[in-house]
Every structure is written in C-alpha cells, then in structure tokens.
Amino acid sequence: MEQFLGIDLGTQGVKVIGWDEEGNFLGSTSREYPILTPQIGFAEQNPEIWWEKTKEAIKELVNLIPQVNVKAIGFSGQMHGTVIIDDNLKPLYPAIIWADQRSHQEVKIIREKLEDKLATICGSDVATGFMAPTLLWLKENQREIFNRIRWAILPKDYLKIKMGLTPSTDVADASSTLLFNIRKRNWSEEVLEILGLNDNIFPPVYESTQVIGQMKEEVKEELGLKGEVLLVAGAGDQHCAALGNGITEEGELLITIGTGGQVFTPLCEPLVDDKLRIHTFCHAIPGFWHLLGATLCAGLALSWFKKSVLDSPLQAFDFKELDQEAQKVEAGSHGLLFLPYLIGERTPYMDPRARGSFLNLHLTHGRAHFIRAIMEGVCLGLKNVTEVFKELGVEPQRIVFSGGGAKSALWRKIMASVLDAPLFTTQVREEAATGACILAMMGTEKSSEEEIISKIIRYGNPVLPERKAAEIYAEIYPKFRDAYPALKKLFP
C-alpha cells in the first residue's frame, strides 16, 4: 500500500500527516518553534530550526507506520515570507516572515511605483511581510548581505532544498510575493525591473501538483523513509487548507478562524477587486485562481482577552469554560459591540493603523458578555469579507467552516447566524497538511482531485442559523460596518 505525507510549515510549528492511497489516516505529528523579535516590528525565524523540527516530526510519524512505503511528499507553508540563501544554499540572514512590519516605508514606495500594476499584474495590494517590500528593505538596510543573495525563496521551499533539490517554488505561493504575474503564472519581468530586483535570484516556478524531484538517499536513510519519496511542489497554507476542506469549485467558500481569519473561494478565471480590498492569487489546482480575504485578529482576539485580561497568577481560565459561559448570553451581547482590529486590519480596509474597541459598554455587562462580543465581532468582520466577495459577483453555494474556531459549538452557531447560511465542517485533522498530502496524491496518481478528496473528506450535518439570532445580527451588522469609519480619526 503506497503512502503519502503532507508537511505544513506553519508560523508557530510544523505538522506532518500521513494518508495511504485508499484514504486511510496514518497519523500526524508536530513540533513547535519560536518567532524571534530582535526589535519592535521584527518577526524572524531560523530556517535551520524549521528543518530540524521537520526531521523530528517525520521520524516520529515514520515510527507510527507499520510498513513504510512513501510514494510522495507534498508541502504547505506560511505565505509571503522571505528566505535568502547564498551560492552554497546556506541562509544569509534569518527568515523574515509574514508578520514582520519593518518594511512599511517600502510598502509606500511599491504602491507609488507600481500604481495600477498592483491590480493588473499582481492581483493584490502590498503589505509588510510580503517578499517584495522585504527585499527592498534588505537592499536599503543590509546592502552587503543583499549583494550576496543567490536565491530568494519562500519558507516551505527551504525544506525541499534540505531534502536534496535545487531551489524552486510553485505558482500559488509565489503569487503571494507581489512579484508575480498572476495571469501568466510566472515572475513578472516588468515588476522586477520597476523595483530594481534581479530576476536571476528567483527560482523556477512549477504548478503545485508537479513532481519536481526525489528525496536524496542519504536524507531518506536519516529520516527512516522507504519508497520512491517523490517531492511535489506544494502551495501556501491557505491553498492547502482549501484542498484539505474539499474546496475545489467556484461558489464554494472556506471560512477559517485560526489566529487570524480568512475567506477563500476558487475561481476559473482571475477576478481582481479594483479597490484592492482582497487578494487574487493563483490556486494550487492547475488552471485555477482564488480570492482571499483576511482579518488579522480572529482567534487571537479571544486568546488576548483570556491571557491579558482574565488570567491571573491565581487563576487561568479554560477556553471551553469561557465558551460555556458565553452561551448563556443572548445573541447581540446585550448591545456590546467589539471591533477586532487589535493589530490593524486587512479586508476590507487595508489599514495597519486600525485599532480594536468595545462599544456600548454598560454596567450590566459582565465577563460572559465580553467573551461573546469578541466571538461575534470576529464573525461580523468575516461577514465584511464575504460582502466584498458578493460585490464582485461571487454567490456562495456552500460554506465550509474550519480552524480552531470551528471546534467551538458556540462559534459555529454565531458564524452560521451572522451569515444566515448553513455551515459545513469536516472531521479532517490538520487541514493544511492534509491539503499538501492531496497535492502529493494528485501529482503522482491518475485520479482527479475530486476522486482523491472523496476518499479523505467527509462532511457532517450542517450547522443551521438560529432564526432569532440571525435577525439580531442583521440589525447589528450595519452598526459594526459604520463603526470603523466613525472611529478612524481616533486611531493613532
């Protein structure tokens, strides 16, 4: 029986999952690693730590499989980040990841230089942490190191080099650099020339399902792997999470509440918002594109409130306990409204200076009201994203809810009622890593993605909106939408 592994190189840790060709789950393992913040606004990681932790996770998973026969490995990874390496394929500098904010001046420069090309070529507005402004920051502030760059690659692609391949990337992840022509599905010579970047430092680009090589024998031996162990190009974590939730067709929406929140939908043709409120990138499915809207602070908002406001040296609250407490509060939190812009906001405002707030506070509000208001505010923020999708002509036919938020019964009910639509969830573990596994299967089998996905993904009964709650949220949403412009002048 042939087996497939999926590796998801995330922001806080790496996850490795295994499935066999019949869709049987083999196991999953993970390892954590830190985000380094040497200065305010910096967010870095050590690529060698990524590799060491990935090896540990693979070895642990191999020990869970009775007869190892790995056909292929697929890759998923945190998007936008930058790894610069020299002629010997060694890192020249710590990886600068998506959460980094040092390049805010370079973001302004790129907007001024590219103007309408952001929409016509790149399909997206630019933000700090993307590869384009990061490289310009390195050119301005670390010139000696910048001049030694042989390759500029995305985070997950470093793992493939450690497995024995020459530098490469895929169309889906490369789209998130803002140096890519999403329609031609290749690096944009025009954008690189305008920004003064040498096109020779960017690796060859493949479709996400392409087999791009085979793991070196010495690496296979070190990891305890047996079989062909072909390496498939892979994609960004959002693309893989969509596959891992069975999202493959136009009209299907994936809503994720993790640390941040995302709304994702596939496209048969590139569709770009001329206001640049959302991203249009190439999809991991060959010949497809997708829309991606993001709210920066979703599960993070509730985690912040628990850790920074509620927890004390004498008592640490449990998320399940808080969830149960918030269920006792009626929809609308007795008028309490939360704006989840604790670290700025992407869709639809693209405003790094936006700030969070509680509105309509009253003496009758207690802890449970705050908890529920946070959950409702995150869902209302994600509704803001879906409204942009609808404005662009996307009519949701099916909505799948995933991430840590989808594990909460209350959050599922709130999200369904805010959208006034049924929500589906899957029982899949580690959706992004599973999506990477599906890419490995697609790249090495003759089966279509639909046949492969049908073996792995099952949906439960949908969560239906509660009628009274849906009516309350329909009244609240215009107030939520009006709050940002009303408060914008107060933001620092």
* pLDDT higher than 80, residue 89: yes
The residue length of the chain stands at: 492
459 vs 415 pLDDT, higher one: 415
The count of structural domains within the chain is: 2
82 lies in a domain?
A: yes
Buried b (16+ CB within 10 A) or exposed e, 341-364: bbbbbbbbbbebebbbbbbeeeee
- 291 neighbors 282 (Cβ within 8 angstroms): no
Query: Angle between the 367-391 and 409-419 helix axes, to the nearest 10 degrees?
Result: 40
Are 359 and 211 found together in one domain?
no
Token pair, residue 368, equals 């449970």
30 lies in a domain?
A: yes
**Annotated catalytic, 20?**
no
How far is C-alpha 400 from the geometric centre of its chain's CA atoms? Answer: 15
399 lies in a domain?
A: yes
Token pair, residue 356, equals 């969070």
235-284 confidence digits (pLDDT tens) = 999 999 999 999 999 999 999 998 889 999 999 999 999 999 999 999 99
Mean pLDDT of all residues belonging to the chain: 95
185 lies in a domain?
A: yes
pLDDT cut 90: percent of the chain above it? 87
Which of residues 238, 262, 290 is at a domain's end?
238
CATH number of the CATH domain containing 227: 3.30.420.40
Range of the domain at 58: 3-238
pLDDT of residue 266: 96
Confidence class for position 446, pLDDT limits 50, 70, 90 = low
Which of residues 238, 268, 299 is at a domain's end?
238
358 lies in a domain?
A: yes
- C-alpha to C-alpha distance for 402 and 387, rounded to whole angstroms: 19
Angstrom distances, CA of residue 336 to CA of 330, 357, 373, 420: 11, 10, 6, 20
- Over range 146-150, report the average pLDDT: 97
> Can you give the pTM of this predicted structure?
0.91
Of 449, 376, 445, 447, residue with least CA distance to 415: 376
Q: Residue 311 CB: number of other CB atoms within 10 A?
A: 12
* pLDDT higher than 80, residue 428: yes
Are 290 and 404 found together in one domain?
yes
User: In this structure, which amino acid lies at residue 431?
Assistant: E
Are 308 and 383 found together in one domain?
yes
Among residues 170, 237, 273, 323, which one is catalytic? 237
Are 231 and 266 found together in one domain?
no
Which of residues 238, 257, 272 is at a domain's end?
238
187-245 confidence digits (pLDDT tens) = 999 999 999 999 999 999 999 999 999 999 999 999 999 999 999 999 999 999 999 99
- Over range 126-150, report the average pLDDT: 96
- C-alpha to C-alpha distance for 298 and 487, rounded to whole angstroms: 20
Contacts of 33 (CB under 8 A, 6+ apart): 12, 13, 14, 45, 46, 49, 50, 53
Are 208 and 316 found together in one domain?
no
Are 398 and 267 found together in one domain?
yes
- What does residue 392 show for φ and ψ, rounded to 5 degrees? -85, 5
447 vs 123 pLDDT, higher one: 123
* pLDDT higher than 90, residue 441: yes
3-state secondary structure at position 445: coil
* pLDDT higher than 90, residue 351: no
- Over range 403-419, report the average pLDDT: 94
